[in-house]
Amino acid sequence: GVMENLGLGPEVLLQENPRLIYARLTGFGQKGKYAKHAGHDINFLSLSGVLSKLGRKDENPYAPINLLADFAGGGVMCAMGIVTALYERTKSGKGQVIDASMVKGVAYLSSFLWKSQHLEFWKRPRGENLLDGGAPFYDTYKTSDGKFMAVGAIEPQFYEQLIKGLGLDSDGLPSQWSFSDWPKMKKKFASVFAQKTQAEWCSIFDHTDACVTPVLSFDGVASHEHNKERRSFIKNDQEEISPRPAPHLSRTPAVPSLKRDPFIGEHTEEILLEYGFIKQEITKLYQNKVIEFRKPEANL
């Protein structure tokens, strides 16, 4: 209802321009019991059902920071809706309103979980399945220098290379898919990984298809050989590192700015003046807390 309070709801603006695509991104959606309630990623995730699937065995469900509902189920799904509406407009010539709810968005994002829940690899309690930390060959393990390796050796040919790289004899081990032996195998893998540093394990697995990779920290991710070759990260004029825009488009690749990120409100007045607002109007908007100003401090 915020935009309606400003007299800028979709009904008003679509009358002015029927081709307008009006995106509304909210947590709980435009209608429903919780529509007017406050919430955060963890709340949207819980209401979608997805949170119940996340977390270790015998522990509380665990929200992965705020990436799933806010950014994936919210921002990305909303952007996808805008692109879809833009494409549809090329045929109909009409705009439309997009109701992007983070609850519905992250629920739809989890369609794989819904469609596969009756398959064998989801039939155990949370934390005991193939992809949720139950399998010894799909987990992370601590190395002797306190770092970690990620293991995703699901297919038998990859699992075979994992066992070989760990220096174990497959003939003396239980079957990969012996679920009752998974806890024991996780302990065995953990004890082996703890005997070498992350760098030593990389030297063993880097040239194999064992699906074993280092868990890189933000401090080291940009300097990793693969990421350097792919130019996956950029450095701005303040020496701050951030991801390069993705995906890469062959003909019109993104050209990222190498300047520091602007402060919230840094260019508010400048942009409004460009669009024809006068000083008095801008001052009134600021007094009514519709806009925000923040000027960078001089470096003296």
For the segment 190-204, the average pLDDT, to the nearest whole number, is: 98
- 142 within a domain of the structure (yes/no): yes
Closest CA to 151 of 181, 176, 169, 123: 176
The answer to whether residues 207 and 269 belong to one domain is no
- 235 within a domain of the structure (yes/no): no
Alpha-carbon distance of 66 to 54, in angstroms, equals: 13
Pairing mode of beta strands 138-142, 148-152? antiparallel
- 93 within a domain of the structure (yes/no): yes
The answer to whether residues 147 and 58 belong to one domain is no
* CATH number of the structural domain spanning residue 146: 3.30.1540.10
Higher pLDDT, 207 or 300: 207
∠ Cα 146 148 152 (to 5°): 160
- 40 within a domain of the structure (yes/no): yes
Contact of 286 with 293, CB cutoff 8 Å: yes
- 41 within a domain of the structure (yes/no): yes
Pairing mode of beta strands 97-101, 22-26? parallel
Alpha-carbon distance of 86 to 5, in angstroms, equals: 27
For the segment 10-17, the average pLDDT, to the nearest whole number, is: 95
- 247 within a domain of the structure (yes/no): no
- pLDDT at res. 77: 97
User: Which tokens belong to 166?
Assistant: 């760990």
Count of structural domains, the chain:
3
The answer to whether residues 106 and 161 belong to one domain is no
* CATH number of the structural domain spanning residue 61: 3.40.50.10540
For the segment 257-278, the average pLDDT, to the nearest whole number, is: 93
Contact of 106 with 29, CB cutoff 8 Å: no
The answer to whether residues 189 and 94 belong to one domain is no
The answer to whether residues 101 and 146 belong to one domain is no
Task: Quickly count helices (H) and strands (E) in the chain.
Answer: 12, 7
- Which residue out of 40, 145, 206, 261 is catalytically annotated? 40
- Which residue out of 41, 70, 132, 139 is catalytically annotated? 70
Query: In the listed set 215, 238, 254, which residue is the last one of a domain according to the structure?
Result: 215
Closest CA to 138 of 128, 120, 152: 152
- From 13-22, 190-199, 281-290, the region with the lowest mean pLDDT: 281-290
- Residue 254 pLDDT greater than 70, yes or no: yes
Average pLDDT of the chain is 94
- pLDDT at res. 89: 98
The answer to whether residues 285 and 181 belong to one domain is no
Contact of 53 with 113, CB cutoff 8 Å: yes
pTM of the model: 0.87
- 133 within a domain of the structure (yes/no): no
Q: What is the total residue count of the chain? A: 300
Residue 297's pLDDT band (cuts 50, 70, 90): low
Query: In the listed set 181, 215, 249, which residue is the last one of a domain according to the structure?
Result: 215
- pLDDT at res. 184: 97
- Residue 219 pLDDT greater than 80, yes or no: yes
The answer to whether residues 210 and 110 belong to one domain is no
- pLDDT at res. 286: 92
What is the percent of the chain where pLDDT is above 70? Answer: 98
The answer to whether residues 209 and 168 belong to one domain is yes
How many CB atoms lie under 10 A from the CB of residue 149? 21
The residue written with tokens 């989890």 in the block is 110
Per-residue pLDDT tens for 231-250? 999 999 999 999 999 999 99
Per-residue pLDDT tens for 132-172? 999 999 999 999 999 999 999 999 999 999 999 999 999 99
Per-residue pLDDT tens for 36-77? 999 999 999 999 999 999 999 999 999 999 999 999 999 999
Contact of 188 with 163, CB cutoff 8 Å: no
For the segment 76-95, the average pLDDT, to the nearest whole number, is: 98
Residue 206: active-site member? no
Query: In the listed set 67, 84, 116, which residue is the last one of a domain according to the structure?
Result: 116
The answer to whether residues 101 and 142 belong to one domain is no
The answer to whether residues 110 and 150 belong to one domain is no
The answer to whether residues 82 and 169 belong to one domain is no
How many CB atoms lie under 10 A from the CB of residue 168? 15
Residue 70: active-site member? yes
- 236 within a domain of the structure (yes/no): no
- Residue 300 pLDDT greater than 60, yes or no: no
What's the domain range around 111?
2-116
